[in-house]
Structure 1
Amino acid sequence: MTQLNRRRFLATAVAATTVRSLPPVAAALKTQPARRVLTLVYDKSLGAMRAIDRIVH
């Protein structure tokens, strides 16, 4: 098991909240044509790469 410190716990909680809230937001935006942009960034708090999925109008 990895070392779970405060920073990693908060990063994991924010990521889980984002994943849970994204489908309702995406459903609300379906009325307009939109593009999804996937960006990979290095997250220092996780010590790994992280994917950010954005909806662009």
Structure 2
Amino acid sequence: MPDFTRRGFIAASLAAGTVRAIPAIATRTGGRRILTLVYDKSLGMMRAVERLVP
């Protein structure tokens, strides 16, 4: 078990709460997700771009 300071414990607790809350928020927004593949010249490869459309 790691030896947490009070500040480290609070930060870890907030991070864990955020990870649990984000999927619930994402599913509540409604609308559709559109995934588009675009060619990025700077990377020299394809990358995915995701948009939310109400």
How does the TM-score come out when normalised to structure 1?
0.49
Superimposed CA distance per residue, residues 1-55 of structure 1 (whole angstroms, 9 cap, x where no aligned partner): 5431100000000000000111110001241558xxxxxxxxxxxxxxxxxxxxx
Q: Does 1:3 align with 2:3?
A: yes
RMSD: 2.5
Matched to 2:21, the amino acid is S
Provide structure 1 residue ranges, at least 5 long, that are not aligned to the other structure.
35-55
Which range moved further: 8-17 or 21-30?
21-30
Q: For this pair of structures, how many residues does the alignment match?
A: 38
How does the TM-score come out when normalised to structure 2?
0.51
SS in 2 for 1:19: helix
Q: Does 1:21 align with 2:48?
A: no
* Higher relative contact order, chain-length normalized (CA < 8 Å, sep 6+): 1
